Amino acid sequence: MVARIDDRLVHGQVVIGWCRPLEITRILLVDDEVATSAFEQDLYRLAVPEGVAIDFLADAGAPARLDQAATGGERVLVLTASVEAMVGLQRARPHLIQSVNVGGVHDRAGRTERLRYVYLSGEELKELAAIAATGVSVTAQDLPTTRPVPIEALAG
């Protein structure tokens, strides 16, 4: 199970850069807004290649679906748009999410550039560092072929 934070959710980099090389067969997209919007779901389905299934989950229902996915034998990408959602999932299912990839988290008010593709607020960085302190591997990485950057290196 691969867990990634990417505020653009399903897009070319996720599909080509992550799903294909890691042979992902199912995406669990966890986002309250998308889970209630048939229009947005249809748009994201267009971006998902043949052979990859996608489930749209609200934050509250996601932990139970993670349990099912863990026993299903599929190669799963858990995808959230926010640090908050991923940290919540990891805390709800620490035995399932033992590694978190911080991918595309873009600029907005209150965030500071940490890498060219990662902008985090002090609170977001603190939340990621807190789960890292429990033994979770938290790294920033735009593609599986690039060097992962430990969350500790983003604090400076």
DSSP state of 13: I
CATH code where residue 34 lies: 3.40.35.10
Q: What is the mean pLDDT of residues 122-143?
A: 96
**Residues 50, 100: contact at Cβ < 8 Å?**
no
Q: Which domain holds residue 84?
A: 8-146
Tell me, what's the pLDDT at 156? Answer: 67
Query: Is 105 inside any structural domain?
Result: yes
Q: Is residue 1 part of a domain?
A: no
- Residue ranges of alpha helices (H) inside 48-104 are 62-71, 83-92
Model pTM? 0.95
pLDDT band at 72 (very low <50, low <70, confident <90, very high): confident
Report pLDDT digits (tens) over 24-59.
999 999 999 999 999 999 999 999 999 999 999 999
Q: In this structure, is residue 154 part of a structural domain?
A: no
Number of independent structural domains in the chain: 1
Q: Return the number of other C-beta atoms located less than 10 Å from residue 84's C-beta.
A: 14
Taking residues 95-105, report their average pLDDT. Answer: 95
